[in-house]
Structures are given as structure tokens and as C-alpha cells.
Structure 1
Amino acid sequence: MDTEYGKTLSDLALGSGWIDLQLRRVEESELIARINEAQFVVVPYADLYNSGVVLMALSVGRPVILRENAASKQLKAEFGATWIRTYKGDLTSASLRDVLTAPLPPTGSAPNFDQRRWKDIGESHFRVYHAAL
């Protein structure tokens, strides 16, 4: 991670009392434990190239806050505004406060992963490769 970006994030989180910022690589078990402790997962990337962290958070039932872009719009369309919340521009306390005003998902609910079933993904890949041949 860029040192300046890390310092900016640290400065923003400093003194909040509710942000647990880890600027290091964490093992999967620790990551899942931290996600389970959180009410939301904030992914502050300017550009989202890979949705792995988003899908991990959703898979353990935590809503995700993302910068609005093409990828986050697609994820929001797929999983809904309850699970994917977006902000415009830079992440600020005001933009974070705005997305936190939306209601939480119902207790015990989970995001719908129907569009990501292995069987359907496999068949979709098969069709794409078959068409390419």
C-alpha cells in the first residue's frame, strides 16, 4: 500500500473509536473474525478491479460500503442497496455518515447469491468458450 494513502486513512480513522484499520496483510481466519465483528465493511478503493473482498464480506452477512463506480453499481444491482451501499467522490466522514443512515439488513438475513451458483457460472463459462471457438 502506498505510504501516503495509508497515512491519509490512518488520519481519517484516528480517534473515531469505531474504525478498526489494519494496514497489513491479515490471515483469512483473522479477516473473517474481524468481518464478523463489524457492522459494515468499508472498501475504500478508488477503483474496484476485483470483488473478492466484497464477496467475502457478503458471504458472512455484512453489508459493504463502496465508492460509486461501474463495478459497484453492478454489485448493487445484483445484491441490492441494503447490502451494497455507495458514496460519490472521496471517502469522508460526511459520505460515510450518509450511507450509514440506510436501514440495516434484517437480523438473520443474507444476501442473495443465486446469480453466483457454481453450476450457473460453469454453464456461462462454457457458453462463452464455446462461442469463442
Structure 2
Amino acid sequence: MRPYKGVENLLQEFILAQGENSLSLRVIGAPQTRALAERLHQIAGDEPSIRLELERVNDDALATAIVDSELVVLPYRDIHNSGAALLALSLDRPILVPSNDVTIAWRQEFGDDYVHLYAAELTADDLAAAVARVRSTDWASIGPVSMDHRDWPSIGQAHREAYLQALGDKDSVDLEL
């Protein structure tokens, strides 16, 4: 867990979002520094609705934590790729991420029920709105996330097409995959 991931801000905004909402927050991951871990403990204080698990967890524990969640919040200040986001989506869990070209593309790919966006820095209102929307969604009618086009052959073909397009003349290049 690194400072750019915005976990300090998440904790502060979560506390503000608590109000009338029945929310709980589980933070999982090993902080990069002891100072960051201390800061997270300081912000969380004795808040009973916050559970800090500031350690590296194995894949099974992470998957279980994601499946047990209503919403996976990734409060990054900037995001270009995220294994955590794709893991959550592959486990049919909605995510809340900052709005940029990448996350807007995810929203187009996976749907706005699964990809919730916020502008600039995460706020208590963003958290409350995303949770309210997730709780009001009829998940049975939505169905699971499709990752069919994210298999290796599809990814390889997409890369091939991108390279050929970059070369400019698809017809004159003979590449075998």
C-alpha cells in the first residue's frame, strides 16, 4: 500500500460518510512504510466500523474479502491499470474508482452498475452515493461480469491489431501469432 493509493483520504471520507448510513470499511494490504501504517491507525482511531488488516494476504483471503464486499473502493489519486479492480470485477463485485480515460473505458466495457466513477479526489458523498446505488441495484437482473474478451488469445489479437495499426499498412505486414 503506497501513499498514491489514497487510503488515508478514504478513511477520512468514510468517517464523514458514516452519518446515517450503515457502512463498514475493511482495509487490506501491507503499507509501504511504518509511518503510513501509523497514520492509518491514527485516522481510524477507535471507529468500530473500520477494520484495518495492514498485512499482505494470500490470494484466497483477498478473493474471499472481495466476494464478501458490497463495493470495492480503489481511492487512487491516479490509475492507469489495476489488478485489484479487474480481480473485483472478475468476482462480480462493483468498484468505485477515479474517473479517467482508463476507468471510463472499463465502465463502457463492464457497465455502469459495476464501475462507479468519482471526479478528482474521493469524497464522503461519492462513497455514500455509490453504496446507495449498489444497494438499490437488482443484481439478479444484471448478471455476472463477462471477461470473455480478456482471455489470452483475445488480448494477443488486440495487441497484434494495435501494432499493425501503428505500422500504418496492415496489408503489407505478415505476422503470425
TM-score tier (shorter): 0.7 to 0.9
Coordinate RMSD, CA, aligned: 2.7
In structure 1, the partner of 2:107 is: 76
Q: Offset at 1:33?
A: 1.0
TM-score, length-scaled by structure 2: 0.63
Q: Offset at 1:117?
A: 3.1
Where does structure 1 lack aligned partners over 5 or more consecutive residues?
A: none
Q: After superposition, what is the alpha-carbon deviation per residue over 1:71-130, rounded to whole angstroms, capped at 9, x for unaligned? A: 111100111101101112221211111223324352382112233232221222233445
Question: 1:82·1:105 contact (CA, 8 Å) conserved in 2?
Answer: no
Aligned length: 132
* TM-aligned CA distance change 1:78 to 1:54, over 3 Å: same
TM-score, length-scaled by structure 1: 0.81
Rg larger for: 2
Q: How does 1:1-133 map to 2 (within 5 A)?
A: 1-2=2-3, 6-13=7-14, 16=18, 18-24=24-30, 25-102=56-133, 103-104=136-137, 106-107=139-140, 109-129=143-163, 132=167
Distance 2:80 2:146 in 1: 22
Q: After superposition, what is the alpha-carbon deviation per residue over 1:19-64, rounded to whole angstroms, capped at 9, x for unaligned? A: 1123423222211110011011011111112131111001111011
Where does structure 2 lack aligned partners over 5 or more consecutive residues?
A: 31-55, 168-172
